[in-house]
């Protein structure tokens, strides 16, 4: 397994920039109108609609109007509330994780791997725990790819081992070590009771127990409910949010692989 560089515990945030104060837009510019949806554990009646309005007002919406209410069984109601807020957003105070590596084309990715590793880059992917949603991991790994981009399998210089869904963490570690993986990619869609966070922490702890630091593969996770700023807290090297493309992942992996020399 090729030794990998140690990225910073927390991905770099965007550099300081000039901010701009903005207010939500609904019917006219700057009117502050927003729409929120939620479910209350109440049967659908006028009391429930009043409770929804009260909650919206406590959230800072005034006036607040229930524009949609639908029973969800006998004991729950789903609401959509439309109303006005007076809050302003300062874009200068927004913290995001910027891409800190060049985005490479397919030929550039393969060439970089040949020059740096002089062998194929090995990637093991899976959905861990009880998560059975493979659409995300397949979009990155499978040759069909995502958003018009081919997946990692398309690259001659990348060996992909896709374990699929509901993979136990010990099994993932076992396969990664057997394959001498350079990187482990994990997708997590199931988020009830923060299952994605618990599974990720379990995975990172298992790899740190099983591998010496210089032998540990890159640990990369992705999913729609992850906060990209939590990589260090969760013990992984990188978090990719929704909308990530295969080229972004491949470019990241290439950027973080050291020379085989």
The 10s digit of each residue's pLDDT in 97-119 is: 888 899 999 999 999 999 989 99
Rounded-to-integer distance, Cα 159 and Cα 173, Å: 17
The residue-averaged pLDDT of 13-42 equals 86
DSSP string, the chain: ---B----SSPPBPPP----EE---SSSTT--EEEEEEEESS-SSHHHHHHHHHHHHHTT-SSEEEEEEEE-SSS-EEEEEEEE----EEGGG---B---SPPPPHHHHHHHHHHHHSSPEEEEEE-BTT----HHHHHHHSTT-BTTB--GGG-TTEEEEE--SSB-HHHHHHHHHHTT-SEEEEE----GGGHHHHHHHHHHHHHHHHS-GGGPPEEEEE-TT--GGGHHHHT-SEEE-TT--HHHHHHHHHHTBPP--
Q: What residues are annotated to the active site?
A: 144
The residue-averaged pLDDT of 148-176 equals 96
- Output 1 or 105, whichever has higher pLDDT: 105
- Output 124 or 194, whichever has higher pLDDT: 124
pTM, rounded to two decimals: 0.77
pLDDT at residue number 78: 98
pLDDT of 29 above 70 = yes
pLDDT at residue number 180: 95
**Average confidence score pLDDT of the chain:** 90
């Amino acid at each position: 397994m090729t030794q990998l560089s140690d990225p910073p515990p927390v991905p770099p945030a965007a550099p300081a920039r000039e901010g701009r104060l903005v207010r939500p837009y609904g019917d006219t510019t700057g009117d502050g109108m927003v729409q929120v949806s939620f479910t209350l554990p109440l049967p659908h009646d006028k009391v429930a609609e009043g409770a929804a309005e009260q909650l919206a007002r406590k959230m800072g919406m005034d006036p607040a109007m229930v524009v949609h209410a639908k029973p969800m069984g006998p004991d729950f109601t789903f609401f959509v509330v439309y109303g006005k807020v007076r809050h302003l957003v300062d874009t200068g105070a927004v913290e995001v994780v910027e891409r800190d590596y060049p985005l490479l084309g397919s030929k550039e990715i393969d060439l970089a791997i040949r020059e740096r590793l002089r062998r194929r880059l090995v990637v093991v992917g899976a959905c861990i725990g009880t998560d059975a949603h493979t659409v995300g991991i397949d979009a990155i790994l499978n040759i069909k790819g995502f958003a018009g981009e081919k997946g990692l399998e398309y690259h001659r210089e990348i060996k992909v081992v896709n374990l699929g869904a509901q993979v136990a963490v010990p099994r993932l570690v076992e396969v990664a070590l057997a394959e001498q993986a350079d990187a482990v990619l994990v997708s997590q869609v199931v988020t009830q009771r923060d299952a994605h966070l618990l599974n990720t922490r379990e995975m990172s702890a298992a790899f740190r127990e099983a591998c010496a630091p210089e032998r540990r593969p890159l640990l990369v996770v992705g999913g729609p409910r992850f906060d990209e700023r939590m990589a260090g807290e969760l013990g992984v090297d990188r978090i990719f949010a929704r909308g990530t493309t295969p080229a972004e992942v491949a470019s990241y992996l290439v950027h973080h692989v050291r020379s085989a020399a």
